[in-house]
């Protein structure tokens, strides 16, 4: 396992993020997912965040990513949700039709530290706890 580092420390910080579409509207397909994933990668570069794994269902996404300890995760998540909401609705008329004037993402999100566990392991843990 390779550790990440900066000038004064080494670290390995994995996070699991689950974002749900507002009112659980079923808007994700391969094309919308790929678009949202590309946006996550591009914006993540500005926040020292790197995508490890991305999975989606029709109404939500599961994202496994690595971050630096000084990364402001809530700022990144809010920036991502805001930008992706606006651009997805702009570029996908079918999504815009399903959500009309509503925000794309639900206001809440789930963020967990994972220790590098694959998404399937974390999904099973969430099912057991729920």
Look at residue 3 and tell me if it is in a domain: no
pLDDT per residue over 71-109, tens digit each?
A: 999 999 999 999 999 999 999 999 988 887 778 999 999
Which among 33, 35, 31, 67 has a CA at the least distance from the CA of 51? Answer: 67
CATH of the domain at 63: 3.30.70.1290
Task: Look up the domain containing 18 and give its range.
Answer: 9-129
Query: Which residues, including other chains, have CB under 8 Å from residue 66's CB and lie 6 or more apart?
Result: 4, 12, 13, 14, 15, 49, 50, 52
Look at residue 2 and tell me if it is in a domain: no
The rounded distance, in Å, linking the Cα atoms of 55 and 109 is: 15
Look at residue 4 and tell me if it is in a domain: no
Residue 117, pLDDT above cutoff 70: no
pLDDT at 25: 92
Look at residue 1 and tell me if it is in a domain: no
pTM metric for this prediction: 0.84
Look at residue 70 and tell me if it is in a domain: yes
pLDDT per residue over 13-36, tens digit each?
A: 999 999 999 999 999 999 999 999
């Amino acid at each position: 396992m390779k550790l990440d580092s900066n000038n004064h420390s080494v670290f390995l910080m994995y996070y699991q993020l689950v974002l749900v579409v507002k009112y659980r509207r079923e808007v994700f397909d391969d094309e919308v997912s790929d678009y949202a994933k590309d946006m996550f990668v591009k914006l993540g570069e500005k926040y020292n965040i790197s995508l490890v794994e991305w999975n989606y269902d029709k109404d939500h996404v599961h994202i496994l990513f690595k971050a630096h300890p000084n990364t402001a995760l809530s700022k990144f998540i809010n920036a991502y949700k805001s930008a992706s909401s606006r651009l997805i609705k702009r570029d996908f008329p079918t999504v815009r039709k399903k959500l009309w004037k509503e925000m794309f993402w639900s206001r809440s999100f789930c963020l967990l530290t994972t220790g590098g566990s694959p998404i399937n392991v974390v999904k099973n843990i969430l099912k057991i706890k729920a």
